[in-house]
Amino acid sequence: MDSQFGLALQQASWASPLPKKLPLREMDGFWVGVDYLNWRIKNGPLPNPMITSGSPSDAVPGALGQLGTRVLAGGNSSNGMDYGPFSGIRMNGGFFLDDDRIFSFEGSAFLLEQRSYNFSASTSDLQPIVTAPFFNTNGIASSIFATVPDNLTSLPNSTLSIYSYSKLSGGEANVKARFGNPGNGFSSNLLFGGKFTELEENLIYSINSQRSAGGINSVTQGTDQFLTRNWFYGVQVGGGLNYDYKRFHASALGKIALGQTQQNIAIAGSRTNTINGVSAAPTDGFVYALPTNSGMQNQSAFSAIPELQFRLGYDVTRHIQLYAGYDYFYWTNVLRPGNAVDSVINTSQRNGQSLVGAPRPEPIMSPSGIWAQGMTFGVELKY
C-alpha cells in the first residue's frame, strides 16, 4: 500500500503545472502594487519678457531696450516657471497568462497632483513703474504703460501677476515575456503594449491698475488666459534586466512609445474699467490675448515618449515586497502655454476697438518637449 501511495504522489508531482525551477514567490498568479511618486517636471517656458519695471525718465518707460528697464518675469534669461516637487500615485497590477509563468499581462496608471506657479510685482518707491512690454507691428519696443495718456502726470499703482498650473497623468497596458532564471539570478524581459499620457497647463496673466487724477478715480483690471491640453496615444515596446538574490531584487527597464499627440489651446482675454465706482461693460481682449489670437486651436503631431525605470526591492514575506526606484521620461511635441504668447501687438484692437492693420498677436502653436523624473516608493502584493 505504501508503494501505491508513493506512486500516486509521484504521478501527482509530474502532473503539477508549476515548474520546479521557480522559487515559491514566483509561483503566484497575480499581483497588485501602489507607488508614491515624488517627481519634478521641466519648468514651464516663458520665453518672452512679460513684466518689466521702468524709469519715468525714459522715453518709453518699461519698454525693452530702455536704459531704466529691468525684466522681472520672462525672457531668455529666465528659468521659466518652477512648479516645485509633485506628489503623485501610481497603481500597478498584472497576472500571468500561462502555467510556466513566462507570459503576463500588466497595467498601470499614474496621476500627479496639480501644482502651481505664482509671481507678482507691484509699484513702489524703488520701482515706480511696473508694466507689460511688447513690440508694435513695425518692430518698435513699447509698453502698456506708454500707451496710456497722462500716465506720467499721475503714476498708477499697479500690480501685475502671472499664475500657472500643471498636471500630468497617464496609463499603459502591456503583454510581457520573461526569460532566464526569474527569482534566482539574472533574467530579462520584453514587452509590447499601448500608452496614454495627458498634460494640462494654464497661464493666467493679470493686471490691476489704479490711478487718481483731477478728481477721477479709475481702476483697470484685466486677464489673459492661455490653456493647453495634450493627449498622447501610442504603442510601446521595451525590455529590461532583473537580478534576484534571495529576498533582494533589482531591475532596470527601458521603454519607448511612439504615437500621436493631440494638441489643444484656448486663448481668451477680458478687460474691465471702473471710473468713480461705476464699471463699464467688459471688453474682450486685454494685453497678450486679443481678438486676433483668441479662441480655440487644435493640431496633432507625431510624438515619442522614451522612459527609464530603476527599482530595488525586498521581500518582507513571500507575498509582500517593498521597493524604491527612480523614473525618468521625456515627451516630445507638446504645447505649453508660455510658448503660445505672442509679444507683437497691434494696439488698435485694444479696449474693444476695431482692428486696423496687421492681425497681431496671432495664435502660436509651437510644440516643445517636457520631461518628468523622480523617486518612487511602493509596496507590491503577490498571490
Residue 4 has pLDDT above 60, yes or no: no
pLDDT tier for residue 59 given thresholds of 50, 70 and 90: very high
At 220-247, the pLDDT tens digits run 999 999 999 999 999 999 999 999 999 9
> d(Cα 349, Cα 211) in Å, to the nearest integer?
23
Phi first, then psi, for residue 11 (nearest 5°) are -65, -40
Cell of 51: 513684466
> d(Cα 201, Cα 226) in Å, to the nearest integer?
8
**48 or 149, higher pLDDT:** 48
Residue 3 has pLDDT above 80, yes or no: no
**279 or 167, higher pLDDT:** 167
**Residue 221 neighbours by CB distance under 10 Å:** 17
Cell of 145: 504703460
Is residue 31 within 8 Å of residue 379, measured between CB atoms?
no
Residue 152 has pLDDT above 70, yes or no: no
Q: How would DSSP label each residue in 174-216?
A: EEEEEEE-TTSEEEEEEEEEEEEEEEEEEEEEEEEEEEEETTE
Is residue 7 within 8 Å of residue 15, measured between CB atoms?
no
What is the helix (H) or strand (E) element at residue 17, kind and residue range?
Answer: none
At 104-122, the pLDDT tens digits run 999 999 999 999 999 999 9
Question: What average pLDDT does range 87-109 have in this prediction?
Answer: 95
pLDDT tier for residue 211 given thresholds of 50, 70 and 90: confident
pLDDT tier for residue 289 given thresholds of 50, 70 and 90: very high
Predicted pLDDT of residue 29: 87
Predicted pLDDT of residue 5: 45
> d(Cα 274, Cα 283) in Å, to the nearest integer?
12
Predicted pLDDT of residue 1: 45
Domain ranges in the chain? 32-382
CA atoms within 13 A on the CB side of 4: 1
Residue 153 has pLDDT above 60, yes or no: yes
pLDDT tier for residue 260 given thresholds of 50, 70 and 90: very high
> d(Cα 366, Cα 379) in Å, to the nearest integer?
40
Predicted pLDDT of residue 77: 66
CATH for the 32-382 domain, from 1.10.4160.10, 2.40.128.90, 3.40.50.300, 2.60.120.560: 2.40.128.90
Strand ranges (E), the chain = 30-41, 51-54, 70-73, 86-96, 103-112, 115-122, 129-131, 133-135, 141-143, 157-180, 185-213, 216-245, 248-275, 278-279, 283-284, 295-315, 320-334, 368-382
Phi first, then psi, for residue 215 (nearest 5°) are 80, 5
Per the confidence metrics, is the pTM higher than 0.85?
A: yes
Question: What average pLDDT does range 279-297 have in this prediction?
Answer: 93
Predicted pLDDT of residue 103: 95
Predicted pLDDT of residue 17: 39
Name the percent of the chain lying above pLDDT 70: 91
> d(Cα 366, Cα 344) in Å, to the nearest integer?
16
CA distances from 293 to 124, 358, 364, 375 (A): 33, 12, 8, 40
Residue 368 has pLDDT above 80, yes or no: yes
Output b/e per residue, 140-170; b: 16+ Cβ within 10 A: ebbbbbbbeeebeeeebebebbbbbbbbbeb
pLDDT tier for residue 213 given thresholds of 50, 70 and 90: confident
Which residue in 193, 199, 166 sits closest to 335, CA to CA? Answer: 199
Question: What average pLDDT does range 273-281 have in this prediction?
Answer: 88
Predicted pLDDT of residue 54: 94
Residue 43 has pLDDT above 80, yes or no: yes
* Mean pLDDT, all residues of the chain: 91
pLDDT tier for residue 24 given thresholds of 50, 70 and 90: low
Q: How many residues does the chain have?
A: 383
User: How many whole angstroms from its chain centre is CA 218?
Assistant: 38
> d(Cα 24, Cα 310) in Å, to the nearest integer?
24
pLDDT tier for residue 200 given thresholds of 50, 70 and 90: very high
Residue 182 has pLDDT above 90, yes or no: no
Question: What average pLDDT does range 59-76 have in this prediction?
Answer: 94
Is residue 170 within 8 Å of residue 110, measured between CB atoms?
yes
Q: How far apart are the first and last CA of the chain?
A: 36
